[in-house]
Structure 1
Amino acid sequence: MSQENLAPNETMQIHEMLNFKTICMTTSKMMEGVVFDQELKALLEKDVQQSITSIAELQNLLKKASKLR
């Protein structure tokens, strides 16, 4: 039975993407509170929802990372 693992550089790159996506989501969520334009507010909310999905997918990918001992 073979188990797929991520290489260390892949793990690092996924961590970087996860950090970036988290910062983007946080920024969009904070901007929702100060934006008055309803269209822009809707776009920010859509970005937050898509970011949540992306973050969950990246976290699932990290489960394939081999554990350091």
Structure 2
Amino acid sequence: MNYALHEVLEVHEMAAFKTTCLTKSKTMKALVSDQKLKDIMQQDIDVSTRQLQEFTSILSNARH
């Protein structure tokens, strides 16, 4: 699919942000003792991982 350069750059920017969020959630989860908070953080990890996979798919299919 053909994307404009600014669209590809925006996906890159979102992927970089989600990578930072994922790293933070994974790191902080190890320090949390409350199980409910751990569960919320795990949900965030799962969602962020799926989103990064989608971004990767979009970027690998982008022709610029």
TM-score, with length taken from structure 2 = 0.93
Structure 2 residue ranges without an equivalent (≥5): none
Of residues 31, 37, 56, the one that matches 1:40 is 37
Going by fraction, where is helix more abundant, 1 or 2?
Answer: 2
User: What is the root-mean-square deviation of aligned Cα atoms in Å?
Assistant: 1.0
Count of residue pairs the alignment pairs up: 64
* Deviation for aligned residue 1:66: 2.0
Separation (CA, whole Å) in 1 of partners of 2:57 and 2:25 = 23
TM-score, with length taken from structure 1 = 0.87
Identity of aligned residues (%): 38
**Highest relative contact order (Cα 8 Å, sep 6+), 1 or 2?**
2
Whichever of the two has the greater Rg, that structure is 1
Of residues 7, 10, 14, the one that matches 1:10 is 7
